[in-house]
Structure 1
Amino acid sequence: MKTNTNHSQTATHALSPTTRRAIFLLSLATFCSMAVQRICDPMLPELSRIFGTPISEASRAISFFAIAYGLMQLFYGPVGDRFGKYRVVMLATIGCSVGSLLSALSADLTFLIAARIGTALAAAAIIPLSLAWVGDAVHYEQRQETLARVGLGTMLGITAGQLFGGLLTDTLGWRWAFVLMSAAFATVSFLLWQQLKHLKQATPHAHAPIGFFQQLKEVAHNPWARTFLSLALIEGATVFGVLAVTAAHLHQVHHISLTLAGGTTALFGLGGMAYMATAKITIRRFGEVGLARNGGISFGAAFVVIAFSPWWQLALPSCFVAGFGFAMFHNTMQAKATQLLPKARGTGVTLFAGFMFLGQSLGVLVLAELFNHYNSQSILGADAMVVCALGLFLSRAIAKRNATQADQA
């Protein structure tokens, strides 16, 4: 078939320079998107002090961002399938630039939360539609490795958001972190706009999109899709939820500065980068089942150390290991998400992202509230155990699904 021919020509070694540059620019966009999500994490104690509110209220700058981000997935999936995923990503970066600037100009917590929600409304398009675009352009056999390259921007974004969020808050002030993000988004939007005209002939044709409600019906009647989206919800609540409060845990328990706490949690992103750099070898060594299992266990074990170690220095290698484990697990989830609805890939991936970030919003709200009633060690430790179980469950689910598909072949 023609579609199969197009896909086979997009293996990693055969990607054209235009497509490679497009993937690089999408990595920059995902970098900015993740950085703006995580940039408030180390700010929470300072925002709480500046605006005179408890951390649970200041955390709404994170949790409300995630809620808006998740809800918008149902909008951007069909829009990306209809009007072009790359074009929508470019427009979204412009919106994020404006939203970040408004965040920097916030006079009170309410305005900051509103500006963050506005930023999220635009940012919601960037990562899922970037992944969906890769799904259209690259054959599945090479897709996980290519997604890892795009994911490098995501991991760098986690690192930059955590690091510069704490550094600028401690030095120039928290507003300058948002000024930096506004400038970064503006630059990336210009580069994406320049590249867009070259992709009209370079991007392979995806499947003709099916109706949106038909897509949802397919998902609702598919046991694997229901299971997968449930796992995405739990992943968002446990992994991203605990990441949002890790800097606050280190700051409060070990009495280190926000810069040091943010820099320590930034090693999570560096661990993810290490996975991306070795993805080709790691994917071939472990396969999807091994990546899911070992990734969940590595993340959980690392956060047990972060939670209960009396020495904050052990959080340095632990955050790195947690990031590596998360990237193993999440990269596998991303690859599976691109096959959730092959005939409407944008919607399939954005459904995955929507459930994941809905879970994140719930996780941040719940964990921040638990901080007011329980010690952070117990909270992080319990969360770590859940992630271990999640990795084991996903690995078994993938193995069972692969065996079923092999029997049907």
Structure 2
Amino acid sequence: MAEKSRSPRVSLLLLGAAAFIVIADARVIDPLLHIIANEFEANVGTTAIIVSAYTIPYGLFQLVYGPLGDRIGKVKVMTGAMAAFAIGTAGCAFVPNIALLTLLRFLTGMVAAAIIPLSLAYIGDNFPYAERQAAIGRYLSALMLGQILGGSIGGIFGDYLSWRDIFLVFGVISLLIAAALWRANQRLDEPIKLQDRRGKSGFKPWGKSGFKPYLQLMKSPATRLIITAVFIEGFFLFGGFAYLGAFLRDRYNLPYIAIGFMLSGFGVGGLIYSASVKWLVSRLGEQGLIFTGGWLVCFGYLAIVMFQNWILFIPISVLIGMGFYMLHSTLQTRATELAPEARGTAVSLFVFSLFVGQGIGAIALGAIVDSAGGYIHCFITVSVSVALLTLWLYSQRQRLNAAGS
């Protein structure tokens, strides 16, 4: 278990601000996908490459930042990454074609990868397990606000300004956050715990090969369960979510600002979860959160298909958001205990699996969207797959419990 630090530590507010801008930058694309496709004269499924260009490197580079943060300091790595993220994001405002936009989204996803997993690992180092789910829940509030405001702001810029301007604004804000992290880092004496030692899990935090820590982690059945589950979650839930904005535009011809606000219901559901997390954990337990959350997501995507009314989409998106955070936060909390002596590495593997799943899922489900089946077949696929994931996790509850023991 983590020891609670007595030395000064970075506030959850500052860590949350960094997470907010990274998530908002990722989600701002959702209501803008259609308008970007129109500007570059491409179809929606093809334009979704800018989603995968961000999420796949975001996942892949978890494998770099986790051990690096454990070795030289989590806050130090986050500071450098946020500065590079600011430059790349601002550069997206000036691209002349979709190829260059794809490249810059790749580069910003590559450096954005450091922020959230290292923040979660930093929280894990400073909060004991009994308090950690509540602390992570408060931290996730910033991610949820990013979900809410990212889509809403994207819709506003899409309708009234330019999709390019939002990247310039985000770049400036990111630079200010990087400066605040640098200043906070000067006051820290962050412990570096990667000395040749083993924790109770038998995990050696650093090896001769850069992939050795991850291979050692994957020897654990509980680790394989969590990493596989979060990959499936990212592939289907977020892979499908990328097309909700375009679906609302094509099916109901709604303005982009309305689409942005409607997609923000996902984050509202997350805020409801965050506000009630202590009560939910005490009443449902971790297994109950996974089971209930998974079925809420399943029902939400199925309801989009069954009740084709844009007004009903608002409460449906709230249900999907709440269900996702009930499921995901529980898996995330378990992931912080996979290797207590190297949480940066363990959490990075977790986030790697989530975002690589999302990137591949957006491409795979895009093929369904561009086919004769269209959006409806895509959302049915997501609903059925999340239902099967939920049943599988419930059947594997003993192995899942082993991850936190």
TM over 0.5: yes
Find the partner of 2:173 among 159, 184, 188.
Answer: 184
Find the partner of 1:165 among 148, 154, 167.
Answer: 154
Q: Distance in 2 between matches of 1:340 and 1:393?
A: 20
- Output the amino acid matched with 1:210: W
Aligned to 2:278: 280
Deviation by residue 1:21-48 (Cα, 9 ceiling, x = unmatched): 5222111111111111111111111111
Pairing of 1:44-193 with structure 2 (within 5 A)? 44-193=33-182
Task: Flag the 1:75–1:207 CA change in 2: closer, same or farther, 3 A.
Answer: closer
Pairing of 1:290-305 with structure 2 (within 5 A)? 290-305=288-303
Aligned to 2:202: none
Deviation by residue 1:163-184 (Cα, 9 ceiling, x = unmatched): 1112101110100111121122
Find the partner of 1:331 among 300, 311, 329.
Answer: 329
Given that residues 66 and 361 in structure 1 are in contact (C-alpha distance below 8 angstroms), is that contact kept between their aligned partners in structure 2?
yes
Aligned to 1:258: 256
Aligned to 1:367: 365
Aligned-residue offset at 1:156: 1.0
Aligned to 1:40: 29
Q: Distance in 1 between matches of 2:295 and 2:187?
A: 43
Aligned to 1:310: 308
- Output the amino acid matched with 1:73: Q
Aligned-residue offset at 1:403: 7.5
Find the partner of 1:230 among 221, 224, 228.
Answer: 228
Pairing of 1:1-12 with structure 2 (within 5 A)? 7=3, 9=4
Aligned to 2:392: 393
Query: Over aligned residues, Cα RMSD in angstroms?
Result: 2.0
Q: Distance in 2 between matches of 1:219 and 1:111?
A: 37
Q: Distance in 1 between matches of 2:264 and 2:252?
A: 17
Q: Distance in 1 between matches of 2:60 and 2:232?
A: 16
TM-score by length of 2: 0.92
- Output the amino acid matched with 1:221: K
Task: Flag the 1:182–1:73 CA change in 2: closer, same or farther, 3 A.
Answer: same
Q: Distance in 2 between matches of 1:275 and 1:47?
A: 33
- Output the amino acid matched with 1:178: F
Structure in which a larger fraction of residues adopt helix: 1
Q: Distance in 2 between matches of 1:54 and 1:232?
A: 29
Q: Distance in 2 between matches of 1:31 and 1:378?
A: 32
- Output the amino acid matched with 1:217: L
Task: Flag the 1:403–1:23 CA change in 2: closer, same or farther, 3 A.
Answer: closer
Given that residues 289 and 396 in structure 1 are in contact (C-alpha distance below 8 angstroms), is that contact kept between their aligned partners in structure 2?
no
Aligned-residue offset at 1:213: 4.2
Identical counterparts, % of pairs: 32
Given that residues 61 and 352 in structure 2 are in contact (C-alpha distance below 8 angstroms), is that contact kept between their aligned partners in structure 1?
yes
Aligned to 2:219: 221
Task: Flag the 1:112–1:207 CA change in 2: closer, same or farther, 3 A.
Answer: same
Q: Distance in 2 between matches of 1:405 and 1:125?
A: 24
- Output the amino acid matched with 1:96: F
Q: Distance in 1 between matches of 2:33 and 2:335?
A: 32
Deviation by residue 1:35-84 (Cα, 9 ceiling, x = unmatched): 11111111111111100111122111111111111111111111111111
Aligned-residue offset at 1:100: 0.8
Q: Distance in 2 between matches of 1:392 and 1:184?
A: 42
Aligned-residue offset at 1:336: 1.2
Tell me the SS of whatever aligns to 2:95. coil
TM-score by length of 1: 0.91
Given that residues 44 and 246 in structure 2 are in contact (C-alpha distance below 8 angstroms), is that contact kept between their aligned partners in structure 1?
no
Given that residues 30 and 243 in structure 2 are in contact (C-alpha distance below 8 angstroms), is that contact kept between their aligned partners in structure 1?
yes
Displacement over 2 Å in runs of 4+: 203-214, 391-406
Structure 1: tracts of 5 or more residues without a match? none
Q: Distance in 1 between matches of 2:173 and 2:351?
A: 23
Q: Distance in 1 between matches of 2:171 and 2:92?
A: 9
Aligned to 2:184: 195
- Output the amino acid matched with 2:287: V
Given that residues 250 and 256 in structure 1 are in contact (C-alpha distance below 8 angstroms), is that contact kept between their aligned partners in structure 2?
yes
Given that residues 91 and 168 in structure 2 are in contact (C-alpha distance below 8 angstroms), is that contact kept between their aligned partners in structure 1?
no
Given that residues 72 and 121 in structure 1 are in contact (C-alpha distance below 8 angstroms), is that contact kept between their aligned partners in structure 2?
yes
Aligned-residue offset at 1:227: 1.9
Given that residues 55 and 109 in structure 2 are in contact (C-alpha distance below 8 angstroms), is that contact kept between their aligned partners in structure 1?
yes
Aligned-residue offset at 1:392: 3.0
- Output the amino acid matched with 1:174: W
Given that residues 290 and 395 in structure 1 are in contact (C-alpha distance below 8 angstroms), is that contact kept between their aligned partners in structure 2?
no
Moved more, 207-216 or 52-61: 207-216
Aligned to 2:378: 379
Q: Distance in 1 between matches of 2:90 and 2:347?
A: 28
Aligned to 2:201: none
The question of 1:210 aligning with 2:199 is answered: no
